[in-house]
Amino acid sequence: MDEEHLVLHSEGYGIEGRLHTGGNRAVVVTHPHPLYGGDMDNDVVYTITSAYRQAGYTTLRFNFRGVGRSEGRYSDGVGEQADVCAAVGELQARGHQDVILSGYSFGVWVNALCAGTRLPGISMTMVAPPTAFMDFSAVTRLAGLATVITGSRDDIAPPEMLRRLTKLWNPGARLEILAGADHFYYGYLDQLAALLTKTIGMTATDDAAPGT
């Protein structure tokens, strides 16, 4: 993937990131849990990033503090929210005013906390929000939530739990369930890429509708 290596600045820490410059619309993609080996090179993170890139977006993925070459240490989702804000701020400073959040597992949890407090109303998509593993009780309304994706065999992001929570977060959001996939999408990355491509296209159509 053709990307520029850059350093974000978050609460005094240098945060390692990779930027692909595409169109004006831009996305920040976050990774799974740092304490379980999650980083920006995770296969699902790469799949999400590639899908947005192919749709013409500028993409920015990064390592949370304490991961890879990023400075600092794990901060239980609190400092990580500052890392997300730093990534969004970097894109905005480069002239991208239409910035959305996407991510996988733990990264979705951090994004959701950010969207509820520091970045209210920001548009977002979720892949496998770990609602059976992380505490989402602080997440109530997500006005910018467009799509939630999970696997039919995902016991960390259970479909039945997400049917209820998606309606709570945003009744207008879509829940997409990938038949056969578990939380790690082993053997299902191509199907995930196709589903992401479809949902990104649907979101773009929804955004364009008021002006048509």
Total domain count for the chain? 1
From first to last of its 212 residues, the chain has per-residue pLDDT tens of 799 999 999 999 999 999 999 999 999 999 999 999 999 999 999 999 999 999 999 999 999 999 999 999 999 999 999 999 999 999 999 999 899 999 999 999 999 999 988 999 899 999 999 999 999 999 999 999 999 999 999 999 999 999 999 999 999 999 999 999 999 999 999 999 999 999 998 765 555 444 43
- Model pTM score: 0.95
- Residue 17 in any domain: the answer is yes
- Residue 211 in any domain: the answer is no
- Residue 57 in any domain: the answer is yes
Q: What is the CATH number of the domain that holds 172?
A: 3.40.50.1820
For the chain, report the end-to-end CA distance as a whole number of angstroms: 34
Domain that holds residue 41: 4-205
From 71, 98, 77, select the one nearest 10 (Cα to Cα).
Answer: 71
- Residue 153 in any domain: the answer is yes
What is the distance between the alpha carbons of residues 50 and 83, in angstroms, rounded to a whole number?
A: 21
